[in-house]
Amino acid sequence: MAVRREFGAFVLRALTEWSAARRVRPALLLAGEAVLCAIIVLRVRYTPIDWRAYMQEVEGPVVHGVWDYTELRGETGPLVYPGGFIYLYAGLRALAGGDGSDIRSAQAALAIAYLGTMACAASAYAAARPRRVPPWTLLLLCVSLRLHSIYLLRLFNDCWAMLLAWAAVALFSRQRWASGCVCYSLGVGVKMNVFLFAPGLFLLLLKAHGALGAARHIALCALVQLALGAPFLLANPLGYVARAFGGFGDLNQKWSVNWKMLPPALFSHRGFALGLLAVHLLVLGLLATRRWCSAEGGLGRALRGAPLRTPPRTLARLLHPEQIVSVLLGCNAVGVVFSRSLHFQFYTWYWHALPFLLWRCDALATPLKLAALGLLEYAWSYGLDRVEGTSTPLSSAALQLGHALVLFALWRAPAPPAFVFSGDDALLVRLNNEHAAELAAMLARRGVLPDEARCAVLTAAGPDSLAVQLWDGSERTVACAGWDAGAPAAAGGEAAVARRCKALVSWLRRVSAE
């Protein structure tokens, strides 16, 4: 009985606390999915859609030595993906019997991509550890019929693009900006949809590294693209750029998942496309100003923050992982919602982000969050025309209702935490991470304007004074004689740091209440 209770308590913690079962939880999740993937590959018939076209498109450079992008095409039309697609599917062609005929080997590779995407998404969730998003939401990532089909039965290149995109998100959430930019650019090199993350990534780079640092990371992304496109650029630079980065894809309403309920004339009208683009940019601007940068006082103020002057080993200010993941996933989701036309394989673009984005919003009740996922899954997987297998006006309407709930969740979710602090000075790290509000309240009581006190950082704590750096880089010294009376001055372990932090917080609260 005791063992059963302990096991039950362990399972409950694993489902509700990110700090519990950190290795066991993803291992079990991936093991279960691996079994399911194997069953699907072995028992469900493969559906030929774009695989043969992919093999024809890569045949030019691989077999015939043709590097002019304007001469590469398959049975579905000209090649419209960047150079990374060629290398990737040339490798898959070699794996699949040398000519792409060994479908089972290709399916095994896509199963690995499926599990890899799941692992990267779980890693990003765990790094962000959002308080409102419980670990059990990872189980929701396993329930989509369409997603298993896209990866395992249709072998679309979107799967590899999103594997690289999620690897980049996981790396960014752990402050690995250079390697994250390389992964991100590789994803763009497979398919341009990964570029939907770009506005959010640009904002994060500016906040984390300033204008010069952001420029360096963007240059790194550009170098990756130049490396991927080098042989094609040498053969026909204008043709490569126009085909790889300038296409709009198939805008035939027959294949549209999101706007099937519109009159054909409106769907094809140029004004409709421009309107979607305008609303897309407006929503991104509102989220950036009112949500993603609200902790710093707005978008303009967030970009004017001065770097921290303390030695990084003593105290470093880093973007909070929850902010990184929230901004990237939210930016991409907005791009999907306002897309001109969505095809079935585009479900991969945002499915893994949906539980994170929905559950961050307390204003949306859990039944409505589940309803949003149900509406989206119905639209993508079940609400199809029985004859043609395409979407219907009803399924498109259900998709738009689900998207409305996603947008509501993005807008009503609280602003993500701005920063997390690390360094060797345990007292400074602990106080800035856990008691920034008390520090700001004390500064406001001492005459500092509220906007200036916002995001202030305690940079030194002596027995008689505190050193504080404000957001604009100016420094203030606050007299505080006697705050550490009775607290050990030496940092003799975690307990001593906790006592000193408690004493300092008590002093801050006492001054704020005066």
DSSP secondary structure code for residue 238 in this structure? H
pLDDT at 509: 87
**Which residues is 421 bridged to in the sheet?**
317
Place of tokens 């975690």: 494
State the DSSP code for 258. S
Pairwise CA distance, residues 428 & 420, whole Å = 12
- Domain regions of the chain by residue span: 10-412, 425-513
Radius of gyration of the chain from its Cα atoms, rounded to whole angstroms:
26
pLDDT tens series, the chain, 514 aa: 677 777 777 788 888 888 877 888 889 999 999 999 999 999 999 888 889 999 999 999 989 999 999 999 998 889 999 999 999 999 999 999 998 999 999 999 999 999 999 999 999 999 999 888 999 999 999 999 999 999 999 999 999 999 999 999 999 999 999 999 999 999 999 999 999 999 999 999 999 999 999 999 999 999 999 999 999 999 999 999 998 887 555 578 888 999 999 999 999 899 999 999 999 999 999 999 999 999 888 888 888 888 888 888 889 999 999 999 999 999 999 999 999 999 999 999 999 999 999 999 999 999 999 999 999 999 999 988 888 888 999 999 999 999 999 999 999 999 999 999 999 999 999 999 999 988 988 888 888 888 888 889 999 988 888 999 998 888 989 888 777 755 555 545 788 888 888 888 888 888 877 7
DSSP 418-484: -EEEESS-HHHHHHHHH-HHHHHHHHHHTT--HHHHTT-EEEEE-SSEEEEE-TTS-EEEEE-TTTT
Sign of the four-CA dihedral 341, 345, 346, 347: positive
pLDDT the model gives residue 10:
75
Burial of 431 (0-12, 13-18, 19+ CB in 10 A): buried
Question: CA torsion sign, 433 to 439 to 444 to 448?
Answer: negative
Q: Is 311 exposed, middle or buried (0-12, 13-18, 19+ CB in 10 A)?
A: exposed
pLDDT of residue 227: 96
Fold of 425-513: Split barrel-like (3.20.180)
pLDDT digits 0-9 by tens, 205-223? 999 999 999 999 999 999 9
Residue given tokens 């969505």 in the structure block: 342
Instruction: Find all residues with CB under 8 Å of 366, minimum gap 6, and list them.
Output: none
What is the pLDDT, as a whole number, of residue 11? 80
Whole-number pLDDT of residue 511? 82
First CA to last CA distance, the chain: 55
481, 427, 480, 477: which is closest to 448 by C-alpha? 477
Q: Are 295 and 385 in contact (CB under 8 A)?
A: no
- Cβ count within 10 A of residue 38: 14
Neighbours of 382 (CB within 10 A): 12
> pTM value?
0.94
pLDDT tens digits, 433-443? 999 988 988 88
Structure tokens at 236: 């026909």
Nearest to 259 by CA among 405, 408, 397: 397
Query: DSSP class of residue 363?
Result: T
Residue 67 has which token pair? Answer: 């590097």
Nearest CA to 413 among 302, 303, 319, 333? 333
**Rounded-to-integer distance, Cα 156 and Cα 149, Å:** 10
Q: What is the pLDDT at residue 303?
A: 87
